[in-house]
């Protein structure tokens, strides 16, 4: 059950985390990645307008649709009134101009497709893997430089340099969000999965604002991994293993902290707070992950998480247990 939001001050940070990256991805369909800063600016201005409007006029009936409508209008205004469009962008998008028929609307499928396409576009082999992941965490996941540095256990200055090089490479290669072929998807999938893994970990072991857990990050990483299982080219054993791991770990989120936000060790957790539905989903995805001969780090971590969340009497009778025994022979 979703918590009742009492004010725009409570709602806007949540929507920013959930929708900013998606909105940027949709806008980049029109601007292209070479002008990603323009898409980010419009998305930021949209949330700024909401922060000014909602406290005075009240929260709209459909806040998310309101945000996308404002972003769409700002996009149109930009094309009408900025010299940058006439001198730099127009030639690049003239082959696919925005019209009434090609306008972007508040359509969850379009948004999901745009975000997934952008993940693979950003994870471009022309950049080193670390640079790809840094850029994806910033653009797609809304990470600050400090959060990315925490994820990589490195200095903020190092991350700033990686981001600068990654953005410059995208501009140089004139990348646009487009449909990728099977070879490109296969080449980039490992980086995409690692990005989602780091996104989930930052939520599960957060070092930001003295928070032990950030459930919004765990939820977003799981959602994006689930999107990958809808595509025949990306629903691999490795993808299923990662999704299984996320489900197992997410099942214990409510039991991992006390009311004061302090961490509770595994042995001391109240197992009645574990989410059995998520554990069952973890089992389901892990069985899919074990359908072939591939064994990855995600398989091993999911297997450990399975062992921690499944009672002994259920392990012995599970299909996954049989798979694990067969794999070890």
Give whichever of 106-110, 290-294, 300-304 has the largest mean pLDDT.
300-304
Instruction: Report helix angle 237-250 to 276-289, nearest 10.
Output: 160
pLDDT of residue 10: 77
Residues 256-281: pLDDT tens digits?
988 887 889 888 999 999 999 999 99
Q: What is the pTM of this model?
A: 0.67
DSSP category for residue 79: H
Q: Is residue 324 predicted with pLDDT exceeding 60?
A: no
Residue in the block written with tokens 């971590």: 301
Q: For residue 102, what are its two tokens? A: 């090609």
Euclidean distance between CA atoms 243 and 232, whole angstroms: 15
Given a contact cutoff of 8 angstroms between Cβ atoms, the answer to whether 52 and 7 are in contact is: no
- End-to-end C-alpha distance for the chain, whole angstroms: 44
Query: Between 233 and 253, whose confidence is greater?
Result: 253
Using CA atoms in the order 96, 100, 105, 107, what is the torsion angle rounded to 10 degrees?
-80
Q: Residue for token digits 């599970």?
A: 318
For residues 200 and 173, the model is more confident at 200
Q: To the nearest whole percent, how much of the chain has pLDDT over 90?
A: 24
Question: What are the Cα distances from residue 276, in Å, to 101, 254, 281?
Answer: 45, 12, 9
């Amino acid at each position: 059950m979703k918590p009742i939001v009492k004010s725009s001050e409570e709602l806007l940070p949540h929507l920013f985390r959930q929708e900013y990256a998606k909105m940027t991805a949709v806008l980049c369909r029109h601007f292209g990645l070479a002008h990603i800063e323009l898409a980010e600016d419009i998305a930021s201005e949209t949330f700024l307008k909401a922060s000014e409007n909602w406290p005075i006029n009240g929260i709209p009936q459909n806040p998310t649709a309101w945000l996308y409508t404002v972003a769409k209008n700002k996009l149109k205004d930009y094309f009408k009134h900025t010299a940058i469009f006439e001198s730099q962008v127009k030639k690049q998008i003239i082959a696919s101009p925005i019209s009434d028929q090609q306008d972007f609307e508040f359509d969850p499928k379009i948004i999901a497709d745009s975000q997934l396409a952008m993940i693979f576009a950003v994870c471009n082999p022309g950049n080193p893997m670390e640079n790809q992941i840094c850029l994806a965490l910033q653009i797609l996941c809304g990470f600050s430089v400090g959060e990315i540095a925490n994820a990589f256990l490195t200095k903020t200055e190092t991350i700033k340099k990686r981001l600068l090089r990654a953005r410059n490479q995208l501009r140089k290669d004139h990348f646009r969000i487009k449909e990728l072929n099977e070879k490109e998807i296969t080449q980039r999938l490992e980086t995409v999965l690692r990005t989602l893994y780091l996104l989930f970990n930052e939520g599960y072991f957060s070092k930001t604002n003295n928070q032990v857990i950030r459930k919004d990050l765990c939820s977003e990483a799981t959602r994006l991994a689930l999107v990958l299982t809808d595509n025949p080219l990306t629903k691999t054993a490795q993808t299923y293993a990662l999704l299984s791991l996320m489900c197992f770990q997410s099942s214990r989120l409510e039991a991992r902290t006390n009311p004061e936000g302090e961490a509770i060790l595994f042995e001391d957790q109240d197992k009645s707070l574990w989410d059995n539905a998520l554990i069952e989903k973890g089992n389901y995805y892990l069985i899919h992950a074990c359908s072939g001969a591939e064994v990855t780090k995600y398989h091993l971590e999911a297997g450990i998480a399975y062992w921690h969340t499944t009672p002994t009497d259920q392990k012995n009778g599970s299909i996954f247990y049989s798979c694990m025994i067969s794999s070890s022979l």
